[in-house]
Copies of this chain bind each other. A is one copy, B any other.
Amino acid sequence: LLSSEDLSVIEQILGRTVKLVARWFVEDGREIIEQAKSQKIAIVTYGDPLIATTHNELRARAAGNSIPTSVIHSSSGIFSVMGEAGLHVYKFGRMVTIMSEPQSAVSVYNTIFENLLSHSHTMILTEYRFDGSGEPFFLDPVEVFKMLLAVESDQKQAAFSGETFAVVASRVGQKDQQIISGKVGSLQALTFGPGPHTIIIPGTLHFTESEALGSFTQVIDPPSDNSDRVIQISARMVEQYAPKARAAVQQMREYLKGEKDATVHKGLSEVLDNAEYYIIDARRFMNQGKHELAVLSIGYAEGLVDALRFQMGINPWLPSG
């Protein structure tokens, strides 16, 4: 947010009058395009100008009107926050913005989940609005946590809880910049003051990142691995189903001992042998990172065994003891 002091500094540097315009004026853009047809127009803004879709679109409209444009890039708060928190830029997955509408938290939650699966960090930009009069509105980090916990209690994918290790960066680049990290449960009790606020949900921290966090931020709880909590759903399935399937095969082999008919015995043995091969395959696929094939194999093995159990009137869903 530009202060009138900033404005006069800019005017001094440029040696001309600067017109302060509202957001809608740039979004609408018609007057800018119109004036740019006959004279040079410069738009001064904070951050890297092309991060805002508005500026990108304005530039495309200018091109459509054969108005040449050029951009002087500037430092962006996004990278500043990553660096100030001591985190590696390469470890960040897709970035998201959270708005105060509760619905907005669902896609943020899903992005956190996906990023955690690949051990990536998620940077969450929080909404702020300034209608030009009165105080600006900043979406509070505590409110963001409440919204995400509500999605977790609905989706239950272990992507966000009171145990989640989070970093809250407030007013980065200003004199009272503050970066605090800790468990969401602990952070919820704090007051973060005015924004802008940025929240980072780290995936798996490199040890140099944990060290840097300790050096540059107030760490109120030791960093933990949020990705650990969100093991691949498929990995969890194979871990959970493989021993059960193996036990079921064992159980069926016992039943088979009583089978006198050689043809039936051969047919059933073949089914059980195949089930065992597929359980082994599931683990091998898992180790190769081929999660879908692992899940397909374990499902197939279970199907083979349960088909026999259905036929023999054994409820396949009871523990096989």
Contacts and interface: CB of A to CB of B under 8 A. Distances in A.
A84 interface: yes
Contact of A94 (B92, B233, B298, B299): B92
Contact of A237 (B71, B73, B292, B308): B292
Q: How many copies does the complex hold?
A: 2
B63 A73 contact: no
Nearest to A282: B299
A255 to B, nearest CB: 14
B84 A95 contact: no
Nearest to A117: B114
B48 A79 contact: yes
Contact of A292 (B96, B292, B308): B292
Main secondary structure of the interface of A (DSSP, over half): helix
A270 interface: yes
Interface string A63-86: 110000001011110111011101
Interface residues of A, number: 73
Interface in A78-125: 78-80, 82-84, 86, 88-97, 114, 118, 120
Interface stretch (A4-12, A22-30, A211-219): A211-219
Contacts of A312: 267
A208 interface: yes
Interface string A11-49: 000000000000000000000000000000000000011
Interface of A: 48-51, 53, 56-57, 59-60, 63-64, 71, 73-76, 78-80, 82-84, 86, 88-97, 114, 118, 120, 173, 208, 211-212, 215-216, 233-234, 237, 264, 267-268, 270-271, 274-275, 278, 291-292, 295-308, 310-313
